[in-house]
Chain A
């Protein structure tokens, strides 16, 4: 049984079919890529997985449970974390606060009075945990920085850290390379690969940057015009002539 499954997802917007019968699956601890040219339906699929959109047909499953109709926060609590293409951070908060929020909300008791009387000031153990994660992402010592002081690459790492604090079993990364240059992308990929192999969560990478997907993922799905055109082990997919015609085109031909 796969961990995260999308089965026969179809989504239409006012007559335009954004996704047509798309099925993907992701195993525990696996690194999977989802690529496709602009308008292929990557983000739509992503949003269906996360619960921001409800598919017109098909279902989404997580760990054997049908989550098609669950709201975003329920999916998060089951163990689906995410990052954003356009960085979404909590302005006015420090870097550490982002992690603390995520941890607190994940571990919160639920009862309001307990929460209120719990004198919610962060406990040293929590702070230590946040700082340890920041350290391992290369953001050591930045816990007190206001979030606005960070560069885009660092902000993306904070998003990853925030997602990890919810103890996810799978993290969905939405175009983590957008807005980053080559060196920054490589650094991000390296950090991600390391933390992923340490913690063993599954990873779904929605990407534009074919190089990043090629170097980083084990399997890849390719979307075009809302249809899944191929899938399989990443190196094979990258060699598939249909994929290269639809998407990679001259870029890969030139690279090789």
Chain B
């Protein structure tokens, strides 16, 4: 054995890894170009591509495998027909109507769709059928192996993926360069409102690009099935997450606006992936992890945080962005005294009734459901803190909740320490992780913050949970006892519910105190205008670290309680990142700005599917994903949440009725006309 033989071996490995990397990268490139296309034309950062890819792949499976259609016709329907049609529908029915909204609002809508679309598809196509969609490729005999230059093996699937992607990229490049549509798309990207002022109808531009990008997503959805290990043998929308994340990393290399950069970025990341698998030694645990599931998340996170182009993009924004109307004040702040007392009496009566029923009449099932809703209310208050007070979207609250749950478990199992202490320690760890995480990502804000936190959540899910110091060992199981402290045993259902309610009250009060504190004021100022806030001495990073770690701590407390309630850490059922997306969607839909909003979301999350969907309507519980997912569309118009919006409307209505009874008083102090003054008008109407 000489050095030259060894070197030749390394060279051969490198070349083989290169040829294996290209098709994988081609898949990334395809999805990355879809991202760029929709982002360019409608400003939508469409995380729902995973869902769209899933729908095409599942349609193909339904037609080809279950209904025995020939391959070509199944592909034709799934990719050429269904995918662009879906894109067109999404654009026509949803995104066209929100294209002047903020990027974050659009991101929330796409999250809702990511949750809703696959579930809706499964409900419609797969109704009453339990067996899952299988992962089947579209290339006949796709696993046939060819040898490039006589020695480097590639499968037919891989060759097909690469050729199709390159063809698509060339066609796209031609479209952008040589057509009027391409020129308009580029204009629309810069500032949709400015472009409209220049007389360009942005609508048909975005229709076309949505159909095209959805077609790409569908194509990727079916093409990537055989080459993607995360998809396994069962087709699930979550299986597309690693691809979507890698594609995001590729798209981020071109700041989401450069198609060539997205394509080359995708190919590059594909090659980097396989090269790392080939060359990085496997004996180091961290390095071994990096070759596998962790790589896409680490890449995305690193690119978002360190890529200078993104930092520059964060600095520059649409010049007309500031024209958006601000969120209106909370309904409660403009409520008259009479209304406030009335509302409080009603709330007290309601909670007393629920309490009497729970402790007097409810069976174990309902006590457990109510405990769950209290716990989820606590968890959702962390979203109230982060999104309602901080004004940002984070997709890793589920991870913090899991940290709290695992904290309680680890402390109880390893050191036999009280679960309450374990839960608090978990909360402290989550707060620390949140603080550390906040430093690189909070500066980004907006969609980049959301994506970086999603990358973190997926990293935790795919990598960290497997370690015994995080997720526990198979040997010990994930059991968690109920607590016993201050001489009280909380192991009975009723006692534990009381404990949870007490903690909910404490956390709720904490959230209100923070909202009213100087820190809360600083956060409101930062939301209004960051530069102005700094000019009055707000330390922006400090406020952000606080909001991130407080929110992480609250989520962890809720997660710990959930584990105690269920007597084990039900990680897969409760703390999956996909579940986390649904958490965000449901809280954002119902109201992020008040403590009530969080509690209502907690109740809706637990009770609504059980009571309304299942018992009253006899529907599948999965409809909740569809309902709340689509309800996320309302976020664009009512960022304060549907319940807050409803509250404001009913309050305005009731106060108008009051005002009518006392017409002289009502008109005395009220300024003339105008919508925004109705609340002031109503307020004067109720004074004696």
Contact = CB atoms under 8 A, between A and B. Distances in A.
Interface of A: 50, 52, 72-73, 76-77, 81-82, 84, 88-94, 97, 100-102, 104-106, 108, 112, 115-121, 144, 146, 148-149, 159, 162-163, 165-166
A105 B518 contact: yes
B221 interface: no
A100 B518 CA distance: 9
A90 B516 contact: no
Interface of B: 325-329, 510, 513-514, 516-522, 524-525, 527-529, 531-540, 546, 676, 680
Most buried by B among A50, A81, A88, A162: A88
Contacts of B325: 148
A21 B457 CA distance: 50
B531 A115 contact: no
A92 B324 CA distance: 11
Contact of A115 (B327, B518, B540): B518
Contacts of B328: 92
B326 A91 contact: yes
Given A92-B524, A121-B516, A106 B537 contact: yes
A44 to B, nearest CB: 16
A76 B534 contact: yes
Contacts of A104: 518, 521
A148 B675 CA distance: 13
B277 to A, nearest CB: 40
Given A101-B525, A115-B518, 6 more contacts: A76-B536, A91-B326, A91-B327, A115-B519, A120-B517, A165-B536
Contacts of A89: 528-529, 532
A81 B516 contact: no
Most buried by A among B516, B528, B535: B535
A162 B325 CA distance: 22
Contacts of B533: 90, 101
Contact of B538 (A73, A91, A94, A120): A73
Nearest to A92: B326
B532 A120 contact: no
A105 B531 contact: no
21 contacts: A72-B534, A73-B539, A76-B534, A84-B535, A90-B529, A91-B326, A92-B326, A92-B329, A93-B525, A97-B521, A101-B521, A101-B525, A105-B521, A106-B536, A116-B510, A116-B519, A118-B517, A119-B516, A120-B513, A120-B516, A162-B536
A81 B521 CA distance: 19
A72 B327 CA distance: 27
Contact of A90 (B517, B532, B676): B532
A112 B519 contact: yes
Q: Is the interface of B mostly helix, strand, loop or mixed?
A: helix
A94 B521 CA distance: 12
A52 B162 CA distance: 47
Nearest to A107: B518
Contacts of B546: 112
Given A93-B528, A115-B518, A163 B536 contact: yes
Given A115-B517, A119-B516, A102 B536 contact: yes
Nearest to A50: B535
Contacts of B537: 73, 76-77, 102, 105-106, 166
Nearest to A121: B516
A146 B676 contact: yes
A121 B517 CA distance: 7
Nearest to A82: B535
Contacts of B532: 84, 88-90, 159, 162
Contacts of A77: 537
B51 to A, nearest CB: 33
Contacts of B525: 90, 93, 101, 105
A89 to B, nearest CB: 6
Contacts of A120: 513, 516-518, 520-521
Nearest to B325: A148
Nearest to B543: A105
Contacts of A112: 519, 546
A-B pairs, top 9 by smallest CB distance, nearest first, are A90-B528, A91-B326, A88-B532, A76-B537, A92-B326, A120-B517, A102-B536, A88-B529, A108-B518
Given A89-B528, A92-B528, A146 B329 contact: yes
Given A90-B527, A92-B327, A100-B521, A76 B535 contact: yes
Nearest to B676: A146
Contact of B513 (A52, A90, A116): A116
Contacts of B329: 92, 94, 146
B549 to A, nearest CB: 10
A90 B523 CA distance: 10
Nearest to A81: B535
Most buried by A among B329, B524, B525: B525
Nearest to B640: A92
A91 B518 contact: no
A84 B531 contact: yes
Most buried by B among A120, A121, A162, A165: A120
A93 B524 contact: yes
Nearest to A80: B535
A86 B513 CA distance: 33
Given A50-B535, A101-B536, A112-B546, A148 B326 contact: yes
B523 to A, nearest CB: 10
A105 B538 contact: yes
A73 B544 CA distance: 15
B535 A105 contact: no
Contacts of A119: 513, 516
Nearest to B324: A91
Contacts of B510: 116
B260 to A, nearest CB: 23
B516 to A, nearest CB: 4
Contacts of A100: 521
A197 to B, nearest CB: 23
Most buried by B among A90, A94, A162, A163: A90
Most buried by A among B531, B532, B540: B532
Nearest to B522: A105
Contacts of B517: 115-116, 118, 120
Most buried by B among A72, A116, A118: A116
